[in-house]
Amino acid sequence: MIGLSWLMIAFPLVGAFVLLVFGRFTNRWGHLLGVAMSLASFAVAVLAFFELVGFGEEQRRRAVHLYEFIPGMVDMGLLIDPLSISFALLITGVGSLIHIYSIGYMSHDEHRRRFFAYLNLFVAAMLLLVLADNYVGLFIGWEGVGLASYLLIGFWQFKPSAAVAAKKAFVVNRVGDFGLLVGMFLIWTTFGTLAFGELQPITSENPTTLAIGLLLLLGACGKSAQLPLQSWLLDAMEGPTPVSALIHAATMVTAGVYLVVRSGAFFFPEGSGAALAVAIVGAATLLAGAIIGCAKDDIKKGLAGSTMSQIGYMMLGAGLGPAGYAFAIGHLITHGFFKADLFLGAGSVMHGMNDEVDMRKYGGLRKLMPITFATFFIGYLAIIGFPLLSGYFTKDGIIETAVHHQPILGWLAVLGAGITGFYMSRMVFMTFFGQKRWADDAHPHESPSVMTIPLMILSLGALGLGAYLVLSNRLLLFLAPAVGRPEELPAFHFTSTPGLATLALVAVGAAFAWMRYGRAEVPSVQPRGSFLTTFARRDLYGDALNESLFMRPGQWLTRLAVYFDNRGIDGIVNGLAAGIGGSSGRLRRIQTGFARTYALSILIGAALLTGALLLVGNI
> Dihedral (C-alpha) 461, 466, 467, 468: value to the nearest 10 degrees?
70
Residues 118 and 261 placed together within one structural domain of the fold: yes
Is residue 588 in a domain? no
pLDDT reading at 269 higher than 70:
no
- In the DSSP assignment, the letter for residue 298 is B
Neighbours of 445 (CB within 10 A): 13
pLDDT reading at 440 higher than 70:
yes
Whole-number percent of the chain with pLDDT over 70: 99
Mean pLDDT along residues 118-142: 96
Residues 220 and 338 placed together within one structural domain of the fold: no
pLDDT reading at 376 higher than 90:
yes
- In this prediction, residue 68 has a pLDDT band, given cuts at 50, 70 and 90, of confident
Mean pLDDT of the chain: 91
Residues 336 and 459 placed together within one structural domain of the fold: yes
pLDDT reading at 26 higher than 70:
yes
Whole-number percent of the chain with pLDDT over 90: 69
* pLDDT for residue 271: 64
Mean pLDDT along residues 583-600: 79
Neighbours of 476 (CB within 10 A): 23
What SS3 class is residue 80? strand
pLDDT reading at 100 higher than 70:
yes
Residues 245 and 358 placed together within one structural domain of the fold: no
Residues 199 and 342 placed together within one structural domain of the fold: no
* pLDDT for residue 519: 87
- In this prediction, residue 13 has a pLDDT band, given cuts at 50, 70 and 90, of very high
Mean pLDDT along residues 34-50: 97
Q: Is it true that the peptide bond before 240 is cis, omega within 30 degrees of 0?
A: no
If you count them, how many residues does the chain have? 619
Is residue 498 in a domain? yes
pLDDT reading at 583 higher than 90:
no
* pLDDT for residue 270: 61
Are 245 and 98 in contact by the 8 Å Cβ rule? The answer is yes
- In this prediction, residue 487 has a pLDDT band, given cuts at 50, 70 and 90, of confident
Least confident among 17-26, 67-76, 466-475, 510-519: 67-76
How far out from the chain centre does Cα 5 lie? 25
Is residue 586 in a domain? no
In the listed set 498, 527, 556, which residue is the last one of a domain according to the structure?
527
Is residue 559 in a domain? no
Cβ-count burial 350-368 (b if 16+ within 10 Å, e if not): bbbbeebbbbbbbbebbeb
Q: What is the pTM of this model?
A: 0.90
* pLDDT for residue 469: 94
Is residue 570 in a domain? no
Residues 306 and 258 placed together within one structural domain of the fold: no
Residues 6+ apart with CB under 8 A from 418: 502, 505, 506, 508, 509
Q: Could you tell me the residue range of the domain that residue 14 belongs to?
A: 1-271
pLDDT reading at 357 higher than 80:
yes
- In this prediction, residue 250 has a pLDDT band, given cuts at 50, 70 and 90, of low
Is residue 543 in a domain? no
Is residue 451 in a domain? yes
- The span from the CA of 85 to the CA of 478, in Å, is 11
* pLDDT for residue 506: 96
Residues 334 and 479 placed together within one structural domain of the fold: yes
Residues 19 and 68 placed together within one structural domain of the fold: yes
Residues 500 and 364 placed together within one structural domain of the fold: yes
Q: How far is CA 87 from CA 93, 130, 255, 578, in A?
A: 10, 7, 10, 66
Residues 228 and 361 placed together within one structural domain of the fold: no
Are 89 and 8 in contact by the 8 Å Cβ rule? The answer is no
Q: Give, in degrees to the nearest 5, the angle at Cα 95 between 249 and 234.
A: 35
Residues 6+ apart with CB under 8 A from 367: none
What type of residue sits at position 418?
A: G
pLDDT reading at 458 higher than 90:
yes
* pLDDT for residue 401: 93
What SS3 class is residue 28? coil
pLDDT reading at 438 higher than 90:
no
pLDDT reading at 590 higher than 80:
no
Are 427 and 344 in contact by the 8 Å Cβ rule? The answer is no
- In the DSSP assignment, the letter for residue 577 is H
How far out from the chain centre does Cα 260 lie? 14
Cβ-defined contacts of 166-171 (< 8 Å, 24+): 166/238, 166/239, 168/231, 168/232, 168/235, 169/232, 169/235, 169/236, 170/146
Residues 355 and 438 placed together within one structural domain of the fold: yes
In the listed set 508, 527, 546, which residue is the last one of a domain according to the structure?
527
* pLDDT for residue 452: 96
- The span from the CA of 142 to the CA of 139, in Å, is 5
pLDDT reading at 260 higher than 90:
yes
- In this prediction, residue 128 has a pLDDT band, given cuts at 50, 70 and 90, of very high
Of the two residues 596 and 508, the one the predictor is more confident about is: 508
Mean pLDDT along residues 37-50: 97
Domain total for the chain?
2
* pLDDT for residue 580: 87
pLDDT reading at 235 higher than 80:
yes
Considering only CA atoms, which of 53, 222, 28 is closest in space to residue 116? 28
pLDDT reading at 588 higher than 80:
no
Is residue 283 in a domain? no
Least confident among 272-276, 323-327, 523-527: 523-527
In the listed set 251, 271, 291, which residue is the last one of a domain according to the structure?
271
Residues 267 and 328 placed together within one structural domain of the fold: no
Segment 155-213, tens digit of pLDDT: 998 899 999 999 999 999 999 999 999 999 999 999 999 999 888 877 777 889 999 99
- In the DSSP assignment, the letter for residue 133 is S
Considering only CA atoms, which of 68, 78, 99, 93 is closest in space to residue 7? 78
- In this prediction, residue 36 has a pLDDT band, given cuts at 50, 70 and 90, of very high
Cα torsion angle, 36, 37, 41, 44, sign: positive
Segment 282-293, tens digit of pLDDT: 999 999 999 999
